């Protein structure tokens, strides 16, 4: 669960991209925006998630994210900087005006003849309305096991969805209105 919580903060950071677009046009090369996000601490779950039933809260998780654009040969590319070890996720503005960022990591653990593969996909989707954003972060973890030590546990899949909302953080160097 701690790894998934860390991924959630990373995903929350990705959700900040639409806020930037809302403040004066699309994010493009050489531009950036920072957002402060609040997300539910207890996600919706599906699959084989192991939820701690002894922990309940009505508190929300907070995080700051940075969204920026870099010029590339195929056009400007948007990035969501999660400010954590999860790193930076690439994304794009969708035809409907929403934003989508997605990244995947794959970890392989080998113990003798047994291999355990854990694939984690982080998807952040959001929409902007003025200087505020709302969206979802989805963390999908797929585990597979191959080899004699797997026993009755060949793997599984756990999907957690975190709803979030946020606000643009003003540029401290910008002139006051």
pTM of the model: 0.74
Tell me the residue range of the domain where 128 lies: 2-169
Residues 6+ apart with CB under 8 A from 156: 47, 48, 142, 143
Note whether residue 176 is domain-resident: no
Mean pLDDT comparison of 2-6, 69-73, 94-98, highest-scoring range: 94-98
The total domain count for the chain is 1
Q: Is the pLDDT of residue 117 over 90?
A: yes
Residue 177 located in a structural domain:
no
pLDDT at position 38: 84
Does the residue 174 lie in any domain?
Answer: no
Mean pLDDT throughout 107-120?
93
- What rounded mean pLDDT belongs to the chain? 76
Whether residue 121 has pLDDT greater than 80: yes
Residue 175 lies in a domain: no
- The residue ranking higher by pLDDT, 172 or 4, is 172
Give residue 176's pLDDT.
59
39: CB partners within 8 A, 6+ apart: 8, 12, 60, 61, 62, 63, 137, 162, 163, 164, 165
Contacts of residue 37, Cβ cutoff 8 Å, sequence gap at least 6 = 12, 13, 15, 16, 62, 63, 64, 65, 133, 164, 165, 166
**Tens of pLDDT, residues 28-78:** 677 777 778 888 777 788 888 776 666 666 667 778 877 888 877 677 788
């Amino acid at each position: 669960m701690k790894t998934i919580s860390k991924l959630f903060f990373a995903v929350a950071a990705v959700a900040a991209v639409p806020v930037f677009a809302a403040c004066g046009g699309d994010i493009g090369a050489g531009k950036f925006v920072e957002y402060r996000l609040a997300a539910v601490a207890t996600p919706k779950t599906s699959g084989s998630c192991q939820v701690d039933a002894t922990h309940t809260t009505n508190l929300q998780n907070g995080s700051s994210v940075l969204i920026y654009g870099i010029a590339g040969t195929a056009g400007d590319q948007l990035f969501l900087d999660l400010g954590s070890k999860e790193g930076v996720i690439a994304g794009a503005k969708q035809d409907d005006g929403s934003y989508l960022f997605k990244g995947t990591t794959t970890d392989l653990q080998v113990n003798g003849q047994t291999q355990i593969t854990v694939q984690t996909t982080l998807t952040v989707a959001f929409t902007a309305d003025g200087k505020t954003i709302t969206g979802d972060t989805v963390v999908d973890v797929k585990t597979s096991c191959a080899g004699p030590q797997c026993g009755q546990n060949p793997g599984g899949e756990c999907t957690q969805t975190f709803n979030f909302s946020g606000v643009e953080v003003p540029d401290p160097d910008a002139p006051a209105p």
